[in-house]
Amino acid sequence: MFNENEMMKEYKMTTQEQTYQQLILDGIQTLPPNALAEIVDFVYFIRQKCLQPKRFAEEHYETLLQTELQILSHQEKTHLEQEFADYEKRYPYE
């Protein structure tokens, strides 16, 4: 039985894969550091998506839930601010 490192050593890239890699390398040669950092983030994202799809799906779902909760919280805050706008004028204390 092969372990993952042994399998990677025996793997031969296709011509298409080599072409893609070369296009990527050529394309990043003159990019500024902030653009390279974005590329690193994207590569990490793709690796997670391809190599750990279950974990990726769980993290993606969690991110969506957090975003939805933030949106709901903002909407509730906005609603309350509107409800209590000019409260003292509408309901003066006598």
Q: Average pLDDT by consecutive 10-residue portion of the chain (94 residues)?
A: 58 90 95 95 91 90 94 93 86 81
Provide the pLDDT for residue 71.
Answer: 95
Q: Which amino acid is at 29?
A: Q
Question: Is the pTM of the predicted complex or chain greater than 0.85?
Answer: no
What does the pLDDT read at residue 70? 95
Give the pLDDT confidence score for residue 40 in this predicted structure: 94
In angstroms, the CA 21 to CA 17 distance is 6
The sign of the dihedral angle between the CA atoms of 24, 25, 31, 36 is positive
Quote the pLDDT of residue 6. 58
- Phi, psi dihedrals of residue 11, rounded to the nearest 5°: -70, 130
